[in-house]
Amino acid sequence: DTGVSQDPRHKITKRGQNVTFRCDPISEHNRLYWYRQTLGQGPEFLTYFQNEAQLEKSRLLSDRFSAERPKGSFSTLEIQRTEQGDSAMYLCASSYGELFFGEGSRLTVL
């Protein structure tokens, strides 16, 4: 088991472009979470899945954000029409109890 992996690790994009992040959870974990973390802050909850069902979405997740977890395995987080305020570290975690985090995907919007 290699833990939670996220791709890409870094993404630089221009304002208005779309970006997609991928998360591969620990294989036996049925829950998968997305968080956003900005400098000096704690992780902010965005959404989570149990298997393929999206159970909760934060109000932070505007209609420009969408997350999927087809077949209950990997997950993608897409941000459409990126804004400079979207610049942050996007963290994925999987769980069968406690959260196990990946290294994160850092987004910079120019």
Partner 1 sequence: AQSVTQPDIHITVSEGASLELRCNYSYGATPYLFWYVQSPGQGLQLLLKYFSGDTLVQGIKGFEAEFKRSQSSFNLRKPSVHWSDAAEYFCAAGVGQFYFGTGTSLTVIP
Residues that bind partner 1 (CB under 8 A): 31, 33, 35, 40-45, 48, 55-56, 91, 93, 97-104
Closest residue by Cα to residue 8 from 19, 18, 47, 17? 19
Torsion from C-alpha of 40, 41, 43, 44, nearest 10 degrees? -150
Min dist CB 82 to partner 1, Å, is 23
Triad 40, 78, 92: Cα angle to 5°: 50
Min dist CB 27 to partner 1, Å, is 18
Min dist CB 2 to partner 1, Å, is 13
Nearer to partner 1, 82 or 90 (CB): 90
